[in-house]
Amino acid sequence: MTTPTDAVLGKTANSTSSKPMYQEEIVTRPGVRKILAFARITIGFTFVWAFVDKLFGLGFATPSERAWINGGTPAQGFIGGIEGPFSGLFQMFLNPFGDVLFMVGLLGIGLAMMLGAGLKVAAVTGTLLLFFMYLAQFPPATVDSNNPIVDSHWHEALLLIISAATLSGDTWGVGKMWGRIVGNGWLR
């Protein structure tokens, strides 16, 4: 019998089989699969929106004069304002490469989640990005927070992980087709 953990690790009941696993084997209720797909697309849109806002300066989190296309520095602007105990950790990203890495990460994670392909890679890299953003604002009680330990970064990371663990890209995404191409490995 294959467990959900085995599915995330790419294992099947027959270890010699290279047949891809699909979401229906993990999540048996169609309504739950649709809820997971909607959640996956929503978190993906969150990342894509952040990318677009920082690229063009739509005036939500980024004013147009600080847009990346207008010479703004999306990661450097944030990193330069870090004052917590981990501020030194982020200084290595205080350069144009840090901006590129941040923007490519936002776009890649967002597109993978919205399309439903590469969810494992998106979950790992997205969780790492969110963890760094959490550390950058540590301790959370010093910023607008009503919980001194858990904030929205944790919720978003869990949503990425749940999406990958349940193969939610198979519903309303290209996950099944992607699974036929790459199998059950880390690219799934």
Residue that the structure tokens 């309303």 belong to = 172
pLDDT tens digits for range 29-45 = 999 999 999 999 999 99
CB 163 within 8 A of CB 40: yes
pLDDT tens digits for range 130-155 = 999 999 888 765 556 677 788 899 99
C-alpha gyration radius of the chain:
18
Please tell me the predicted confidence (pLDDT) of residue 141.
Answer: 55
Q: CA–CA separation, 47 vs 54, rounded Å?
A: 11
pTM: 0.87
Average pLDDT over the chain, rounded to whole?
A: 89
Closest by alpha carbon to 128, among 160, 88, 96? 160
| Segments making up each domain of the chain, as ranges | 29-175
CB 149 within 8 A of CB 143: no
pLDDT tens digits for range 177-188 = 999 999 999 999
